[in-house]
Amino acid sequence: MDARRMSRAVPRVRQVGFFTPNTPAQQPQPQSAAPSSESPPLSDSPASNSLSPVMIPPPRHLSDNLGGRTAAVPVPGRENSGELPTVGSYNPSESVLWLDSPPRSRIGDVELSEGAESSLGWYRRSDSAKFASSLPSGGFNLSTAKHPESVAAVEAKNPLPEQSEAQKEQASSSKPLKAKTTKAERRALQESQRAAKAASRAQANKSGTPGGASSSKPMKQPPQKKDGPPVASSIAASERIGVDWSVEKERKKDLPPPRKQFDDESRGGRAKRRSVLNQPEARNRVELFRHLPPHKNGTQLPYLGSKFFELHEKHPAVYKVGLQYLAGDLSGGNARCIAMLQAFQEAIRDYSTPPEKTLTRDLTSKIGGFVSFLIECRPLSMSMGNAIRFLKSRIARLPLTLSESEAKTTLCSDIDRFINEKIVLADKVILRHAATKIRDGDVLLTYGSSCVVEMILLYAHELGKQFRVVVVDSHPMLEGQKLLRRLLVKGLSCTYTQLNAISYVMHKVTRVFLGASSIFSNGTVYSTVGTASVAMVAHAFRVPVLVCCEAYKFHERVQLDSICFNELGDPDAISKVPGRVDVNYLDNLTDKQKENLELLNLKYDATPSDYISVIVTDYGMIPPTSVPVIVRGYRKEYLLI
Partner 1 sequence: MDFQVVVLAGGNSKNLTPLVSKELPKPLLPVANCPVLNYVLHQLEQSNLKDLIVVVEGEDAALLVGAWISGTFIDRLHVEIAAVPEDIGTAGALRAISHHLTAKDILVVSGDLVSDVPPGALAATHRRHDAAVTTMLCSIPVSGPLESGSSGGKDKAKKLGRYNIIGLDPSKQFLLHIATEIEKDARISKRILHAVGQMEMRSDLMDAHMYAFKRSVLQEVLDVKDTFQSLKEDVLPYLVRSQLKSEALLNRTPQGEENSNEKVSSQNNQAFISRILANASTPSFHGIYSENPDGSSSTRKTHKCCVYIASSSSYCVRLNSIQAFMDINRDVTGDADHLLSPNNIIGPSPKLGTKTTVGPNCRLGEGSEMGDKCQVKRSIIGRHCRIGSHVKVVNSVVMNHVTIGDGCIIQGSVICSNVQLQERVELKDCQVGAGFVVTAGSEYKAESLAKKEK
Helix (H) or strand (E) holding 470: strand 467-473
- Determine, following the binding rule CB under 8 A, whether residue 451 of this chain makes contact with partner 1: yes
Separation of alpha carbons 336 and 423, rounded Å: 12
Please choose, out of 68-76, 216-224, 237-245, 324-332, the segment that lies near partner 1 by the rule CB under 8 A. Answer: 324-332
Least Cβ distance, residue 306 to partner 1 (angstroms): 4
Taking alpha carbons only, the member of 483, 634, 624 closest to residue 90 is 624
Which one among 44, 287, 454, 610 touches partner 1, defined by CB under 8 A?
454
Separation of alpha carbons 121 and 344, rounded Å: 28
- Residue 408 to residues 169, 178, 214, 351, 561, Cα–Cα distance (Å): 67, 65, 54, 8, 41
- Determine, following the binding rule CB under 8 A, whether residue 308 of this chain makes contact with partner 1: yes
Least Cβ distance, residue 483 to partner 1 (angstroms): 8
Least Cβ distance, residue 348 to partner 1 (angstroms): 16
Query: Which residue, 199 or 277, is less far from partner 1 as judged by CB?
Result: 277
Which one among 327, 375, 540, 586 touches partner 1, defined by CB under 8 A?
327
Which one among 482, 498, 544, 586 touches partner 1, defined by CB under 8 A?
482
Taking alpha carbons only, the member of 560, 567, 598 closest to residue 58 is 560
Query: Which residue, 227 or 479, is less far from partner 1 as judged by CB?
Result: 479
Which one among 122, 245, 319, 418 touches partner 1, defined by CB under 8 A?
319
- Determine, following the binding rule CB under 8 A, whether residue 111 of this chain makes contact with partner 1: no
Which one among 99, 176, 184, 310 touches partner 1, defined by CB under 8 A?
310
Q: Residue 408 — φ and ψ, nearest 5°?
A: -65, -45
- Determine, following the binding rule CB under 8 A, whether residue 478 of this chain makes contact with partner 1: no
- Determine, following the binding rule CB under 8 A, whether residue 457 of this chain makes contact with partner 1: no
Which one among 118, 331, 410, 498 touches partner 1, defined by CB under 8 A?
331
Beta bridge partners of 528: 604
Which one among 30, 328, 476, 544 touches partner 1, defined by CB under 8 A?
328
3-state secondary structure of 511: strand
Exposed, middle or buried by CB within 10 Å (0-12, 13-18, 19+), for 23?
Answer: middle
- Determine, following the binding rule CB under 8 A, whether residue 305 of this chain makes contact with partner 1: yes
Least Cβ distance, residue 548 to partner 1 (angstroms): 14
Quick one: CA dihedral 251, 254, 260, 266, positive or negative? positive
- Determine, following the binding rule CB under 8 A, whether residue 97 of this chain makes contact with partner 1: no
Eight-state DSSP code of residue 158: S
Quick one: CA dihedral 331, 334, 337, 339, positive or negative? negative
Taking alpha carbons only, the member of 517, 513, 530 closest to residue 602 is 530
Separation of alpha carbons 319 and 321, rounded Å: 5
Please choose, out of 71-79, 144-152, 318-326, 365-373, the segment that lies near partner 1 by the rule CB under 8 A. Answer: 318-326
Q: Which of residues 598-617 bind partner 1 (CB under 8 A)?
A: none
Separation of alpha carbons 377 and 322, rounded Å: 6
Separation of alpha carbons 491 and 624, rounded Å: 33
Q: Which of residues 265-304 bind partner 1 (CB under 8 A)?
A: 301-302, 304
Q: Which residues contact 49 (CB under 8 A, 6 or more apart)?
A: 110, 147, 217, 220
Q: Give the angle subtended at the CA of 150 by the CAs of 146 and 155, to the nearest 5°.
A: 145
Query: Which residue, 187 or 320, is less far from partner 1 as judged by CB?
Result: 320
- Residue 19 to residues 160, 287, 316, 390, 495, Cα–Cα distance (Å): 24, 9, 45, 42, 37
Q: Which of residues 413-442 bind partner 1 (CB under 8 A)?
A: 419-420, 423-424, 427
Which one among 336, 378, 511, 555 touches partner 1, defined by CB under 8 A?
336
- Determine, following the binding rule CB under 8 A, whether residue 576 of this chain makes contact with partner 1: no
Please choose, out of 134-142, 329-337, 566-574, 623-631, the segment that lies near partner 1 by the rule CB under 8 A. Answer: 329-337
> DSSP secondary structure string, 103-149?
HHHHHHHHHHHHHHH-TTHHHHHHHHHHHHHHS-HHHHHHHHHHHHH
Which one among 329, 406, 462, 572 touches partner 1, defined by CB under 8 A?
329
Query: Which residue, 159 or 305, is less far from partner 1 as judged by CB?
Result: 305
Least Cβ distance, residue 515 to partner 1 (angstroms): 12
Eight-state DSSP code of residue 420: I
Which one among 339, 395, 509, 545 touches partner 1, defined by CB under 8 A?
339
Which one among 330, 429, 478, 600 touches partner 1, defined by CB under 8 A?
330
Eight-state DSSP code of residue 519: E
Contact, 26 vs 172, CB < 8 A?
yes
Beta bridge partners of 514: 547
Which one among 400, 489, 581, 640 touches partner 1, defined by CB under 8 A?
489
- Determine, following the binding rule CB under 8 A, whether residue 320 of this chain makes contact with partner 1: yes
Total site size for partner 1, rule CB under 8 A = 38
Least Cβ distance, residue 447 to partner 1 (angstroms): 16
Helix axes 451-462, 426-435, angle to 10 degrees: 50
Contact, 509 vs 544, CB < 8 A?
no
Least Cβ distance, residue 305 to partner 1 (angstroms): 3
Least Cβ distance, residue 559 to partner 1 (angstroms): 24
Query: Which residue, 182 or 306, is less far from partner 1 as judged by CB?
Result: 306
Query: Which residue, 300 or 609, is less far from partner 1 as judged by CB?
Result: 300
What residues line the site for partner 1 (CB under 8 A)? Answer: 301-302, 304-310, 312, 316, 319-320, 323-324, 327-332, 334-336, 338-339, 419-420, 423-424, 427, 449, 451, 454, 482, 486, 489-490
